[in-house]
A and B are shown apart, each in its own frame.
Chain A
Amino acid sequence: ETGVTQSPTHLIKTRGQQVTLRCSSQSGHNTVSWYQQALGQGPQFIFQYYREEENGRGNFPPRFSGLQFPNYSSELNVNALELDDSALYLCASSSDQGSSYEQYFGPGTRLTVT
């Protein structure tokens, strides 16, 4: 069973640029959630995708957008990068099967905006 993977591991971008982060969900999982974790903080929910449709969104501006593909992998896109976007971006996958909603996290992508 393959776990959740994310790419790239680290990324440095300049303010105003655009970035795409990628996530491959765990085998058998049809739901992907994205989180932003600023230094010293807990993860903040960005949005969730279920079977290729957005299924919930946190308090993030529209320049944060996403996609989920038929194989349930996902992308997070951030336009017009700001310095405050510097953070660890975590992807988590889960399944709608079973009685609990347990998420499995990837190792994250560390984004630095200069």
Chain B
Amino acid sequence: AQSVTQLGSHVSVSEGALVLLRCNYSSSVPPYLFWYVQYPNQGLQLLLKYTSAATLVKGINGFEAEFKKSETSFHLTKPSAHMSDAAEYFCAVSAPTGGSYIPTFGRGTSLIVHP
């Protein structure tokens, strides 16, 4: 079984401030981990993914995430928030289930960026 917990349904930051979105996972086997972004009325776009290589993963738009096995975490960060980063962010865990990979998504965190 696998699950994802995203701490905080809303995160509010000022433009230029550090962005930190938290994600904790549960998986009985080594997982793949993903962060997706969703803009209003759109589908999900992959930001970055962890697939058991480097624990610090760099993605698009200046985002990065660090896989910490001891803490079962995969938090998303960006050094300096931009107004265009305002969106819904989803963490997902994917582990083999009966020969296929079925991702489980968190409930999402809405990032609000103030000017």
Contacts and interface: CB of A to CB of B under 8 A. Distances in A.
Interface residues of A, number: 28
A53 to B, nearest CB: 11
A108 B107 contact: no
B98 A56 contact: yes
Interface stretch (B42-50, B62-70, B75-83): B42-50
A42 B107 contact: yes
Given A102-B49, A106-B43, A108-B43, A43 B102 contact: no
Interface in A89-114: 90, 92, 99-108, 110
Interface of A: 4, 31, 33, 35, 40-45, 48, 50, 55-56, 58, 90, 92, 99-108, 110
Determine chain B's interface SS by DSSP, over half rule.
strand
A102 B50 CA distance: 10
Given A56-B100, A107-B42, A107-B43, A42 B51 contact: no
Contacts of A90: 43-44
Contacts of B102: 33, 45, 48, 56, 58
A103 B103 contact: yes
A108 B45 CA distance: 12
Given A42-B106, A90-B43, 15 more contacts: A41-B107, A42-B90, A43-B44, A43-B105, A44-B105, A48-B100, A48-B102, A55-B100, A100-B49, A101-B94, A101-B101, A101-B103, A104-B46, A105-B44, A108-B42
